[in-house]
Chain A
Amino acid sequence: MLSNIHCPTVRIGKRSIIVFPYWISLLIIGILFGLVGAFTVLRDGLQVTGLSNAIPWGLWISIDLSAIAMGGSAFVFGVIVYILRIKRFEVIGKLAVLLGFLGYSTAGMVLLFDLGQPLRFWHPVVFWQPHSLLWEVTMCVVLYLSVLMAEVLPIVLEHPVFHMHPWLTRFSILGGLVKFVHKVSHWLHSASPILAVAGLTLSLLHQASLGATYSVLAGRGIWFNQSAPVQFVFSAMSGGIALLFLSSVFVFRVMRPGQVSDEALLDVARIAGGITLLLTYLRVWDWAVTNYYSFNRTIALQTEMLDTISPYTLTFWLGQALLPIIAGSILLAAKKVNFRLLMVVSFFPIIAAILTRWNYNFAGLIASISYDPFTPNIILNSYTPTWVEFSVATLVLSYWLLMFSLAARYLPFQSMKEHH
C-alpha cells in the first residue's frame, strides 16, 4: 500500500533525487535553531523580544492568528464528511482534520512562548472569567484541540505499523497497548458526528471571538469594528480551505494518484473560491461602512499615518480585495484542465487570510491614540522583532511543515477495513 506513494523528485542531470530526506533535514535544522530561541526566551523572559509596553503583541500573536486561520478547513470538512455525509470528501476530510490539528497545535505552541508566565498557561481553564474574550478563545482552543486530537488519532492509527509490525506479537505489552488504543480509536470514530458538531461549535465560537478580541477595544479606534468577528470566521474558512485544496492536490493527486477523484478536488477549489468571494464582498462593505457611512476622523487619521510608514491601504486593496476577487473567481470556476494554475491561484486566499490578521494585529498597536484631553493625536509606535522572535517563529513553522511532510509521506489516508 505504501509503495503506491510517489515522492517528489528533482532531476539533476541524469539522476533523479528524492527530495524528502533533504527536506526533512532542513526542517530539523530549523527546529534546532528554533529551540535555541525557545530556550533563550524561557530563561530570560520576554525582555529578549522586541515587544514593548506600547506594542505588547507582535510577531508571535500574528503567527498564532494565522496558524489558527490555516486550520479553518477542519470544521467545515468535519461537517461535510460526518454530518452531511458526503462520501467523496471522506479522504480529503481526513487531511482537513490533520491541517486543523497542525494549525491549532502550532498556535498553542507559539502562545506558550508569548506568555509572561508560561507555567501558568492552564490558569484560564481553572480561573474562569467568562466576560473576557481571551478566556473564551483559550477555552475553545483547549477544547477544540482535544476534539482534533480525538479526530486525528484514528487517522494516524491507519498506518500499517499499528496493525502488522512484528513487535506487536513479539512484545505482548506493546500488542495489548495498541489493541487498547485501537479500541479507543474505534469508539472515537463512532462518535465522530458528535465530535464534528462540537468542533463546529467551538471553532466558530472562537474564530469569531478572535476578531472580537480586537474589535471590542473602543480605545483603539481602528480596531473598533462590528464586522471583525464575521470577517475572521470567513477569512479562516477561505484561507483554510484554499490551503486544503493546495495540500490535497499535492498529497492525493501528486503523491497518491487515483485515491481521490479530480472532481472532488475541484469541488474543494470551488468551495474555497465561493467563500473567498463572499469574504471579499464583506471586506469591501466593511471598508465602505468605516470610510463612508460612518466616517470617523480618528480612524481616517490612523489609516493615513499607517500609510506613511507602511503599505497599509495598498495591502488592503491589492492583497485583500483585488487578488482574492480574481483568485476566488478562478477557483469557483475550477475546471480539470489546469491544476497547476489552480494551485498557484489558491495561494492568494491564503495570503489574504494571513494579511487580514497581520494588519489587524499591528494597525491598532502601531497607530494608537494619545489620551491627552485637549489636543489628542495619533502616536506611531515602532516594533522590530529580535532574532529570538524569528527563531521561535522558525521553530513553529518547521514543526508545522515537518508534521505535514511526515503525514504526507507516511500516512495511508485509507482505513485498513476499506483496503481489505
Chain B
Amino acid sequence: MNDKNETPSEQGEQKIARRDLLKVGGALLGAAGLAQFFSLNSLAVRSKSDSHEAAGPKWGMLIDINKCIGCNYCTYACQAINNLADDMLYNVVTTETTQSGEEYFLSRPCMQCEEAPCVHVCPVGATYYRPDGIVAMDYTLCIGCRYCQVACPYSARVFNWRDPLGTTSKAPDFGLQEIENRPRGVVEKCHFCSHRIDYGVERGLVPGVDALATPACVVACPTGARVFGDLNDATSPISMAQVDASVTLRLREDLSTEPRVYYVSPVAESQAPFIQNVEG
C-alpha cells in the first residue's frame, strides 16, 4: 500500500477504498450503538408479576430452623406425592453452618418468589404466576431448554432426565401419588401442593390449618418446623408465627427475588446475614 511508485489512477482507487473503509467503520459503530440500545432495553424491561395487584390469599411458608431435626420426612412426603426418584428432589435438606460454626439443617422447598427469575426467563411461558402467588408449571408447554434451571439461584428446579418412575421408593410409607407423571424432558418444580390448596379452598378448608388443604411437607413434619398459610391474613398460622419469631430471614435476599418462604434464624444468629460474607 505504501509503494512509492503508484500511478495517479491507483491513488484515486485507494482514496475510494479508504472512503469505503470509513463507510464500513461508520456503519459498524452505528450498529454497535443500536445493539447496545436494544440490549439495554431488554435488560430494563422486566415482567412484573400480576400477583402484586390481585387481592386474595398469598401462600407462604415459614421454616423454623431451630425446630428442624433433619429427618427428611418433608422430602420423603414430597417424593411420594409427586412420584419422584431419589435423585430428583423438589425439596432438599442439607447440613449447613452458622457464622459461629454451629451446624444446623437447612430445608429448602421452592421459594415461590414474587419476582421469580425462572418466570422471567422461560421462553414459552410454561412457568407462570398463579393469582395466589404460587409459581406453577404448565408441563404441556415446556420445551426442556433448562434456562429456568440456570436462572434459579436456589437450585430448586429439577430436569426430568428419565421416563417417569413406576412408583417411588417412598410410597406408600409417606403417602400416595397425587400428581400425574410428567413426560421425560421437561423441567419440574415444587408447586406448594397447589392441587391440595385448590381442593381445600373449594371445600371451605383453610390451607395451613386443615391437613387436606396443606402441602405434604408441612403435614409430614414431625416437629412442626414448617408453618403454612396466607401471608395476607393476619390470623393465619404463618402470620402469627412470623410475629412470634424473633428474627426471620429469606434466602439470597440480595437478589431481590422476594421469596415467599421465610426462615426463623438459629438461636445463635441474632441478625440477618449478608452475602458479603462469602467463604471459599
Contacts and interface: CB of A to CB of B under 8 A. Distances in A.
Contact of A116 (B141, B142, B151): B142
Contacts of B1: 335
Interface stretch (B70-78, B122-130, B191-199, B237-245): B122-130
Interface residues of A, number: 79
Given A128-B125, A212-B42, A378 B185 contact: no
Contacts of A217: 117, 121, 150-151
B99 A209 contact: no
Given A57-B146, A121-B143, A217-B150, A138 B123 contact: yes
A117 B43 contact: no
Interface stretch (A319-327, A364-372, A407-415): A364-372
Interface in B159-211: 159-163, 183-187
B20 A53 contact: no
Interface in B207-265: 249, 251-252, 255-256, 263
Contact of B276 (A200, A226, A230, A297): A297
A129 B21 CA distance: 40
Interface string A361-387: 000110001011111111000000000
B122 A208 contact: no
A53 B88 CA distance: 9
A266 B219 CA distance: 73
Contact of B277 (A137, A211, A376): A376
Interface in B12-47: 17, 20-21, 23-25, 27-28, 31-32, 34-36, 38-40, 42-43, 45-47
Contacts of B25: 274
B98 A53 contact: no
B279 A120 contact: no
A412 to B, nearest CB: 25
Interface string A124-154: 1001110111111110000000000000000
B86 interface: no
A230 B39 contact: yes
A267 interface: yes
A56 B144 CA distance: 10
A53 B155 contact: yes
A138 to B, nearest CB: 6
Contacts of A115: 143-145, 185
B193 to A, nearest CB: 21
Taking residues whose C-beta sits less than 8 angstroms from the other chain, chain B's interface range is 35 or more
B4 to A, nearest CB: 15
Given A47-B162, A80-B24, A375-B279, A116 B144 contact: yes
A45 B278 CA distance: 37
A304 B145 CA distance: 29
Given A204-B34, A301-B278, A375-B97, A134 B42 contact: no
B144 A377 contact: no
A76 B30 CA distance: 12
A47 B144 CA distance: 13
A373 B123 contact: no
B263 A237 contact: no
A233 interface: yes
A294 to B, nearest CB: 14
A373 B273 contact: yes
A84 interface: yes
A120 B98 CA distance: 45
B256 to A, nearest CB: 8
Given A217-B151, A375-B277, A133 B121 contact: yes
Nearest to A213: B147
A237 B38 CA distance: 17
A131 B184 contact: no
Given A84-B23, A116-B187, A118-B185, 11 more contacts: A47-B162, A53-B159, A56-B150, A131-B46, A217-B117, A219-B117, A219-B151, A237-B28, A301-B280, A372-B251, A374-B98
The list of the 4 closest CB pairs from A to B, nearest first, reads: A116-B144, A219-B153, A116-B185, A229-B39
15 contacts: A116-B160, A116-B184, A120-B143, A124-B123, A124-B124, A134-B122, A200-B31, A208-B39, A209-B42, A217-B151, A271-B24, A365-B150, A369-B278, A373-B272, A376-B278
Interface of B: 1, 17, 20-21, 23-25, 27-28, 31-32, 34-36, 38-40, 42-43, 45-47, 94, 96-99, 106, 108, 117, 120-126, 141-147, 149-155, 157-163, 183-187, 249, 251-252, 255-256, 263, 269, 272-273, 275-280
